[in-house]
Structure 1
Amino acid sequence: MVDLKDVNKTLKAFNDIVNTKKHNPFDKKGSLKVGVDLGTSSIVLAILDEENNPVYGSFEFAEVVRDGLVVNYIEAVQIVTRLVQEAEEVLGVELTEAATAVPPGTLGNDYKVVSNVLESAGLTVTTVVDEPSAAACLLNLDKGAVIDVGGGTTGISIIENFKAVETMDEPTGGTHMSLVLAGYHKVSVKEAELIKRDREQEKTTFMIIKPVVDKMADITKQFLSEYPVEPLFVVGGASYFDEFAAVFSKYLGKDVKRPDYPQFVTPIGIAIASKQ
């Protein structure tokens, strides 16, 4: 059963670590759970203790993945290597293994490349989990749906027994929000990204990109019409706007919950899955 208060407590602790670039106390004799999330707009490193308490976390904005595919292998390896080395310096321990994740339905070489990135960064890959199942790990969601709004796509996954069993992935995500902002403000996409992330401009920005959110909600409604499940959770970096979940709730006619710091749900879930 999902305890959103407990989930949000974990997310806040992780976010605080990311912002302070410090670490929480941990037993150096115990084992750590490490997760690496290669996202469309950033790469996130999440490290937990044996009881799934956040120990350390960091991220770096990057454009090395597009629609779940690694499009800049060398830069991806360099960033993961850098994040791991920084973590080792802060924690005073060597990190030798980690888990990672792929979009559901990823097969063949595309599946292997994600693991290869970690291995080229000096890590042994313990687990490769699909992203919605990773989110379900943190949420402790045994049945329901995860709506993952990333940089490139909106993925809707039906969860049963903590695993994704049905999934739809639509190419509408945070990048499309940035394109709309770029057109509205007559600036570059990179400048639009900065506007999108500026919390002081959030209300105005949300009004501008709301048609994109409406489209995401409509896509979700159509898919879930065949799967009348609850509870419903929206995660992913592009869903961080305060009014985001309310738009989905209105479209779906059901309560859609969004954890705090939704951009960190999947990375922490990957770390949890690393030792399962």
Structure 2
Amino acid sequence: MAAPDDGWAAAHALLAEAASRRDDPILTPPSRPRVGVDLGTASCVLVVLDDDRPVWVESAGSGALHDGVVVDFARAVATVRSLRSRAEDALGVPLTRAATAYPPCIPVADARACTYVCEAAGFDEVALVDEVSAAQRTLEISDGVVVDVGGGSTGIGVFRGGELVRLDDRPGGGHHLDLVLAGALGITVEEAERTKRERPADALPILVPGLHRIAESVRAMTAGTDDELPLHLAGGALMIPRAGDVLASYLQRTVVTHPHALLVTPVGIARSCPEEGTTQ
């Protein structure tokens, strides 16, 4: 596995600042607010940027999506509305424009449901972007493969010269790893998720077959691309120490991990939010 180099210094600084906003938000009214809503399988993340600087980051448990599809509309709306209200109260400004994202290759109607959730939660204008392109807007990778491993699916985007040349998505992500761990240890899925986060060294050997399954999905989705392109991991599902090493060894490809990977896509979604006076 390759270590990130200075080429991603700006992206890593942005992610570090976003991570710090969870405990230390900037409670002054942003002059140019840009909002990103990441409707995840396990949790929903709301990011507020002031132009390009993170000022507010908060998440809440959701469970309203399954494999990128909204399965509990009312619950999803309530979660986003609560996060939006808390951010507005803290920052002292109305938040009326946002961006949200969907896994690549899901049906158009399912992708639009993500927009409808945000509109029902009080946003007047909502831009829609796929999750892989959102991750790229944070990492700004010129030549490489973005691998966004979410709770329910794994998406990939192949970039050359900064342009997206291939986009794909397959089922399988963090929730499936939790199922593997829960079955092996005889515990609930919720307990498995906590074990994965709190005792990753114990969980990793059990999760290797699940990681290999994700790796096989990546192999299939990138078939025909040049093997010299590095794989850049985003998403919270693989925030397990040495998970990137497992993928690199199995695929025999360069795998690059990035700090605060859980925030790569949410920050990129916020960067996709149109500014006042612009159209999407």
Report the Cα distance in structure 1 between the residues aligned to 2:161 and 2:124, rounded to whole angstroms.
Answer: 27
Equivalent in the alignment of 2:140:
140
Question: Could you tell me whether the CA contact under 8 Å between 2:36 and 2:100 is conserved in 1?
Answer: yes
Question: Could you tell me whether the CA contact under 8 Å between 2:132 and 2:157 is conserved in 1?
Answer: yes
Of 5, 12, 18, the residue aligned with 2:16 is 12
Give the 3 Å change call, closer, same or farther, for CA 67–144 of structure 1 in structure 2. same
Question: Could you tell me whether the CA contact under 8 Å between 1:136 and 1:142 is conserved in 2?
Answer: no
Report the Cα distance in structure 2 between the residues aligned to 1:111 and 1:223, rounded to whole angstroms.
Answer: 21
Structure 1 residue 106: deviation in Å?
A: 3.2
The two structures have a TM-score, normalised by structure 1, of 0.91
Of 211, 214, 219, the residue aligned with 1:221 is 219
In structure 1, the gaps of 5 or more residues are: none
In structure 2, the gaps of 5 or more residues are: 276-280
Question: Could you tell me whether the CA contact under 8 Å between 1:133 and 1:163 is conserved in 2?
Answer: no
Q: Cα deviation per residue 1:33-85 (whole Å; 9 max; x = unaligned)?
A: 110010111110011121x1111100012211111100000000000000011
230-239 or 66-75, which deviates more: 230-239
Structure 1 residue 165: deviation in Å?
A: 3.5
Structure 1 residue 2: deviation in Å?
A: 8.2
Question: Could you tell me whether the CA contact under 8 Å between 2:88 and 2:94 is conserved in 1?
Answer: yes
Give the 3 Å change call, closer, same or farther, for CA 153–107 of structure 1 in structure 2. closer
Of 198, 207, 210, the residue aligned with 1:209 is 207
Structure 1 residue 248: deviation in Å?
A: 1.9
Report the Cα distance in structure 2 between the residues aligned to 1:33 and 1:49, rounded to whole angstroms.
Answer: 6
1:241 alignment partner, SS class: coil
Question: Could you tell me whether the CA contact under 8 Å between 2:115 and 2:127 is conserved in 1?
Answer: no
Equivalent in the alignment of 2:41:
40
Give the 3 Å change call, closer, same or farther, for CA 2–159 of structure 1 in structure 2. farther
Of 22, 25, 36, the residue aligned with 1:23 is 25
Q: Which amino acid aligns with 2:33?
A: L
Structure 1 residue 169: deviation in Å?
A: 2.1
Equivalent in the alignment of 1:97:
97
2:210 alignment partner, SS class: helix
2:32 alignment partner, SS class: coil
Q: Cα deviation per residue 1:180-215 (whole Å; 9 max; x = unaligned)?
A: 1111221121222222222xx110111111111122
Equivalent in the alignment of 1:80:
80
Report the Cα distance in structure 2 between the residues aligned to 1:251 and 1:128, rounded to whole angstroms.
Answer: 34
